[in-house]
């Protein structure tokens, strides 16, 4: 079988795009950011809070992908599909790239789709760049077909989020999806 590098980026079927979009919709849901004080809570706390809604969404994803399967089996498939670095019952394996170890915050493996999920928060460029760099690493390795990268803008004036109104920024974000299979959003 050809490696991911030899065959190019993973194909974006409607089903695969739907799964990626479901993951992003869950992570960027307004209810998360109106419920907790994301400016004061740590990044780890934010990810911990996102885990439960993401687990619930995995049930919805599995129900859609595996119609006619019993609810008990769906719940089992959903649990086996989501890996979180903060859950001692699951393991998110490190990836070796450029001589150092990397590990996404969450991994979703459902059917034949493998998604690395990265969540970063901050109010400056270095925080954005850190997540972009990690996302590029995950999109370059053979372990993942897609990357979901959510950046939580903690600046008071939302300068990072509002940059999406600029053509240059929105074009760059679209190119991440088109050329690297990285779905990037800022909330």
Residue 88: per-residue pLDDT: 64
Q: Which residue has 């001589």 as its token pair?
A: 99
Where would I find the beta strands (DSSP E) of 9-112? 82-84, 95-97, 100-102, 106-110
- Residue range 83-117, pLDDT digits in tens: 988 776 677 777 887 888 888 999 999 999 999 99
> What number is the average pLDDT over the span 112-141?
93
Residue 185: per-residue pLDDT: 95
Residue 8: per-residue pLDDT: 66
Region at 83 (left for phi over 0; alpha for psi -120 to 50; beta for the rest): beta
Please state, in angstroms and rounded to a whole number, the distance separating the CA atoms of residues 134 and 130.
6
Do strands 113-122 and 106-110 pair parallel, antiparallel, or not at all (unpaired)? antiparallel
């Amino acid at each position: 079988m050809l490696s991911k590098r030899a065959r190019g980026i993973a194909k974006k079927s409607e089903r695969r795009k739907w799964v990626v979009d479901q993951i992003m919709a869950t992570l960027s849901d307004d209810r998360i950011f109106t419920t907790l004080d994301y400016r004061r809570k740590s990044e780890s706390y934010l990810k911990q809070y996102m885990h439960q809604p993401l687990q619930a969404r995995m049930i919805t994803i599995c129900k859609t992908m595996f119609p006619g399967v019993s609810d008990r089996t769906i719940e089992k498939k959903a649990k086996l599909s989501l890996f979180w670095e903060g859950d001692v019952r699951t393991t998110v394996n490190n990836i070796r790239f450029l001589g150092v170890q990397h590990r996404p915050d969450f991994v979703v493996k459902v059917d034949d789709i493998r998604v690395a999920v990265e969540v970063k928060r901050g109010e400056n460029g270095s925080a954005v760049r850190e997540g972009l760099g990690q996302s590029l690493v995950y999109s370059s390795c053979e372990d993942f077909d897609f990357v979901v990268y959510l950046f939580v803008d903690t600046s008071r004036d939302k300068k990072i989020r509002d940059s999406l109104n600029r053509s240059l920024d929105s074009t760059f974000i679209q190119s991440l999806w088109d050329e690297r299979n990285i779905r990037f959003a800022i909330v």
